[in-house]
């Protein structure tokens, strides 16, 4: 029999062109695709429950007789049918009903219903249950397996899904080839069940199956598929990495005089974590294949200086370096830092953002193409078509983790010249939990700066209700009068830049009225880049005491003298974002403070989340909590791209499988390359194209 992944859905009886089109719209084209369209959840209709033991919230089947039926004219016209089975009474409530439907409920008729039990005004109720009227000689029937509920698309009822999957399962059971792709020897004991069995069980769980076990994702049949999906995903990234490693890059020898010059110049010693990471980079750069390295480090751990040393190594070998930041504000700051560090060493630096236009831009492009510019710093404008490098050997991307794998690839392609691909160094804004990094960044090598520069005392954080806003304002006044600087961060749920800007503007006005003698500045996303720069430099120079800002200052801004931060409505932000914001203080010698000025009353979850912020300043710990609370898409910033969306796996729930998955994927790639391809096709499918870039 033909392999099921080669049989179009139309080979199933009853699937015509129209259904095929509907199925295609949700990515289902073959019989195998149907089999992998697994139920979202299940209903237990395998048992009849006596009415007397029904509870609020239960989903259950009851068999009963109709006592009476009447139309009730209340706020909404409804049909009320009272039924009983000798153990109790229950009310069926319908809002939509026809006359003939109503007339069917005559006294004494036998009825079988399925629905969710609700507490009604006088008794337990089933709202709009599914029901069947039974004749006297008709046996009560129950389902033989748990009833699957499928994710669906317009025009497909649950019943159609059941019919469709029935047919696909029948084909599979009749010996249709569903390829077993995982080599049996590799499967962990707990998941050692055949793929066909796993699929069958999940579509039609036998009556004794514990729904709760399935709902928790812990059923062996699920774990079997979860394992396979995670392996498929891992393989796609490992393959990508393999491809990268087969490309050629520039061999760059050891760091030399320039690095020594920079060491000499900076007023601090590198931490041993920074040194270790630099060592890793140094080794990578000497290889003939491109480096693909991700540096993780907590906020303030000193990633930028590490990037500067890496840049010097490439520059000394005669190559160009590009440094890309996600926002102008941050790019601007890198420009200043690198200028301070590199200019004394005689290095030519160029600057490129999308607002550079006309003659100035042409002049910069000329410096880049001639090779005169040794290091080019900017935003994504660096990678526009007309920006041509003479000999780009290293691309440094800061705070990249809001971009997904395809952006990484696109970026690398742009740097491709003469068959050589530049080395890539990526720095994340905030730490990512290890398990998640293993899944999302399996195509990269990881370095971790797990140490903060000495002398930093952790920021002290307090939670304050907005009812005590005045006290906080007094505190700001006191701090500023003593020469300290502060941030006041305004947040809004709306993504709209202009609303955010407006809110910040109002706050700034109000605060400058209340805080006499205190110099208040304002920065938000709607300001022109030059204005932003002016404000930031004034703040950095100590000419502004209190900087009112939107979350534009979230990433990277570095003003060591600022030691107080107020965050309004922190309950609206994710933990990683709060951590990132708070990282703007605690950069200097003095003890820093952060007040989370929340809107009361706080819900229970919000309370817990803010308590995490109060109780720890460890970014890795916070990232773990954030992952639990918000899931991987949010933590990685890839929710929109769907990159970390799995069909059966759940990175948080299934993280214990990840170390095994990683090993198995590597073994499969090494020893069973064909199975690897097929696994990628099965589980990653449309996303595989990224691997081909
Ligand atoms: P992040 O890792 O958040 O990007 P930065 O690179 O902005 O952190 O560094 C934060 C601050 O710490 C900067 O002012 C930087 O100059 C300083 N710094 C970096 N490394 C050290 C070190 N080893 N000792 C002291 N200060 C350091
Ligand atoms: Mg940084």
- Domains of the chain and any CATH numbers: 9-40+148-207 (1.10.150), 51-134 (2.40.50.140), 257-449 (3.40.50.300), 460-616 (3.40.50.300)
pLDDT (tens digit per residue) in 495-520: 667 777 788 889 999 999 999 889 99
Q: Name the 3-class secondary structure at 166.
A: helix
Ligand 1, atom 18: nearest CA belongs to which residue?
302
User: What does the block give as tokens for 1?
Assistant: 């029999």
Question: Atom of ligand 1 at shortest distance to CA of 587?
Answer: 11
Query: 205 with 238: CB under 8 angstroms?
Result: no
What is the rounded distance in angstroms from the CA atom of residue 235 to the CA atom of residue 683?
10
- Which residue's CA is minimally distant from atom 1 of ligand 1? 300
CA 421–ligand 2 middle distance (angstroms) = 25
Q: What is the pLDDT of residues 355-402, one digit of tens each?
A: 888 999 999 999 999 999 999 999 888 888 888 899 999 999 987 655
Å from CA of 301 to ligand 1 middle: 6
Residue 450 to residue 460: CA distance in whole angstroms: 20
Q: Are strands 59-73 and 77-84 parallel, antiparallel or unpaired?
A: antiparallel
258's tokens: 């320039």
Calculate the dihedral angle through the C-alpha atoms of 263, 268, 272, 274, rounding to the nearest 10 degrees: -70
Rg (CA), the chain: 31
Taking the centre of ligand 2 as the mean of its atom positions, its distance from the CA of residue 298, in whole angstroms, is 9
pLDDT in the model for residue 267: 93
Closest atom of ligand 1 to CA, residue 271: 23
Distance CA(545)–CA(40), nearest Å, equals 54
Pocket of ligand 1 (CB under 6 A): 268-271, 274, 297, 299-305, 453, 558, 560, 587
Cα–Cα distance for residue pair 334/159, rounded to 1 Å: 59
Nearest listed ligand to the Cα of residue 305: 1
Nearest CA to ligand 1 atom 13: 302
Q: How far is the CA of 623 from the centre of ligand 1 (A)?
A: 20
Q: Output phi, psi for 512, to 5 deg.
A: -70, -30
- What's residue 639's pLDDT? 53
CA 300 / ligand 1 centre spacing (Å): 5
Cβ-proximal residues to 33 (8 Å cutoff; 6+ apart), any chain? 5, 9, 23, 27
Longest alpha-carbon distance in the chain: 98
pLDDT at 188: 64
Output the pLDDT for position 693: 32
Centre of ligand 1 to C-alpha 550, Å, is 23
Q: Which residue's alpha carbon is at the smallest distance from atom 23 of ligand 1?
A: 270
d(C-alpha 309, C-alpha 118), whole Å: 66
Contacting residues for 36 by C-beta, under 8 A, at least 6 apart: 199, 647, 682
Q: How far apart are CA 122 and CA 240, in angstroms?
A: 63
Residue of 302, 334, 562 to mutate, ligand 1, most atoms within 8 A of C-beta: 302
On whether the CB atoms of residues 683 and 239 are closer than 8 A, the answer is no
Protein residue closest via CA to atom 26 of ligand 1: 453
Compute CA distances 395 → 130, 286, 320, whole Å.
61, 15, 9
Q: What pLDDT, on the 0 to 100 scale, is given for residue 241?
A: 87
Q: What is the pLDDT of residues 564-616, one digit of tens each?
A: 999 999 998 888 889 989 989 988 888 999 999 999 899 888 898 999 999 99
**Which atom of ligand 1 has the smallest separation from the CA of 560?**
14
Least distant ligand from the CA of 400? 2
pLDDT digits (tens, 9 = 90+) for 84-99: 999 999 999 999 898 8
Give 3-state DSSP helix, strand, coil % of the chain, rounded to 5: 45, 20, 35
- Ion ligand 2, residue ranges at CB < 5 A: 556
> CA-to-CA distance for 82 and 66, rounded, in angstroms?
6
How many Cβ atoms from other residues are within 10 Å of residue 600's Cβ?
A: 11
Distance of CA 114 to the CA centre of its chain: 38
**Which ligand 1 atom is at minimum distance from the Cα of 398?**
4
Name, in order, each residue with C-beta under 8 angstroms of 607's C-beta and a sequence gap of 6 or more.
Answer: none
Positions of the chain with pLDDT lower than 70, given as ranges: 1, 176, 187-192, 400-417, 493-496, 554-556, 637-644, 686-693
C-alpha 452 to ligand 1 mean position (Å):
8
Q: What pLDDT sits at residue 518?
A: 92
Query: How remote is the CA of residue 349 from the centroid of ligand 1, in Å?
Result: 21
Token pair recorded at residue 548: 């009112």
Q: Are strands 562-568 and 546-549 parallel, antiparallel or unpaired?
A: unpaired
Q: How far apart are CA 144 and CA 130, in angstroms?
A: 17
Structure tokens at 85: 């089975």
Tens-digit pLDDT profile for residues 256-311 = 899 999 999 999 999 999 999 999 999 999 999 999 999 998 888 899 999 999 99
């Amino acid at each position: 029999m033909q392999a099921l992944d080669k049989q179009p859905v139309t080979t199933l009886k009853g699937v015509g062109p129209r259904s095929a089109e509907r199925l295609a719209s949700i990515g289902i084209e073959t019989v195998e695709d149907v089999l992998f369209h697994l139920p979202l959840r299940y209903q237990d209709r395998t048992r009849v429950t006596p009415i007397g033991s029904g509870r609020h919230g239960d989903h259950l089947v009851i068999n009963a007789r109709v006592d009476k039926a009447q139309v009730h004219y209340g706020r909404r016209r409804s049909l009320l049918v009272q039924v009983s089975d000798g153990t109790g009474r229950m009310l069926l409530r319908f809002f939509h009903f026809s006359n003939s439907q109503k007339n069917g409920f005559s006294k004494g008729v036998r009825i079988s219903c399925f629905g969710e039990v609700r507490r009604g005004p006088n008794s337990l109720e089933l709202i709009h249950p599914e029901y069947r009227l039974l004749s006297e000689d008709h046996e009560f029937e129950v389902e033989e397996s748990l009833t699957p509920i499928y994710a669906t698309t317009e025009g497909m009822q649950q019943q159609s899904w059941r019919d469709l999957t029935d047919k696909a399962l029948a084909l599979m059971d009749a010996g249709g080839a569903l390829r077993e792709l995982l080599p049996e020897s590799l499967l962990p004991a707990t998941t050692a069940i055949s793929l066909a069995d796993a699929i069958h069980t999940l579509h039609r769980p036998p009556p004794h199956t514990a729904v709760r076990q399935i709902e928790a994702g812990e059923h062996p049949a699920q774990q079997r598929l979860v394992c396979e999906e995670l392996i498929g995903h891992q393989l796609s990234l490992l393959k990508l990495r393999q491809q990268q490693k087969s490309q050629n890059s520039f061999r760059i020898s050891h760091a030399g005089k320039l690095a020594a010059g920079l060491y000499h110049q900076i007023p601090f010693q590198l931490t041993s974590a920074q040194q270790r990471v630099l060592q890793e980079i140094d080794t990578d750069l000497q290889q003939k294949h491109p480096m693909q390295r991700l540096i993780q480090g907590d906020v303030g751990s000193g990633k930028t200086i590490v990037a500067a040393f890496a840049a010097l190594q490439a520059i000394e070998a005669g190559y160009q370096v590009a440094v890309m930041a996600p926002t102008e504000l941050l790019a601007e700051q890198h420009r200043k830092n690198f200028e301070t560090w590199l200019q004394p060493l005689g290095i030519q630096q160029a600057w490129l953002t999308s607002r550079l236009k006309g003659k100035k831009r042409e002049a910069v492009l000329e410096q880049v193409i001639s090779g005169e510019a040794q290091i080019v710093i900017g935003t994504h404008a660096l990678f526009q078509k007309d920006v041509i490098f003479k000999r780009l050997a290293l691309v440094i991307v800061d705070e990249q983790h809001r971009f997904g794998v395809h952006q990484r690839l696109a970026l690398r392609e742009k740097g491709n010249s003469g068959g050589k691909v530049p080395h890539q160094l990526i720095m994340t804004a905030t730490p990512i939990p290890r398990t998640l990094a293993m899944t999302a960044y399996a195509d990269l090598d990881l370095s971790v700066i797990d140490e903060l520069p000495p002398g930093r005392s952790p920021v002290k954080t307090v939670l304050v209700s907005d009812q005590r806003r005045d006290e906080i304002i007094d505190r700001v006044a006191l701090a500023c009068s003593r020469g300290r600087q502060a941030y006041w961060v305004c947040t809004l749920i709306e993504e709209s830049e202009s609303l955010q800007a407006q809110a910040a503007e109002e706050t700034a006005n109000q605060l400058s009225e209340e805080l006499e003698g205190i110099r208040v500045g304002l920065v938000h996303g709607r300001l022109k880049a030059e204005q932003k720069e002016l404000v930031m430099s004034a703040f950095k120079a100590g000419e502004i005491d209190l900087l009112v800002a939107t979350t534009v200052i979230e990433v990277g801004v570095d003003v060591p003298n600022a030691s107080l931060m107020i965050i309004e409505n922190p309950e609206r932000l994710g933990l990683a974002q709060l951590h990132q914001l708070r990282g703007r203080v605690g950069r200097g010698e003095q003890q820093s403070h952060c007040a989370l000025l929340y809107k009361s009353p706080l819900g229970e979850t919000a309370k817990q989340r803010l308590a995490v912020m109060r109780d720890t300043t460890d970014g890795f710990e916070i990232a773990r909590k954030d992952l639990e609370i918000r899931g991987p898409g949010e933590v990685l910033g890839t929710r929109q791209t769907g990159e970390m969306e799995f069909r059966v796996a759940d990175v948080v729930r299934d993280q214990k499988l990840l170390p095994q998955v990683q090993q198995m994927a590597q073994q499969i790639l090494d020893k069973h390359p064909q199975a690897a391809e097929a696994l990628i096709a099965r589980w990653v499918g449309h996303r595989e194209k990224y691997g081909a870039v």
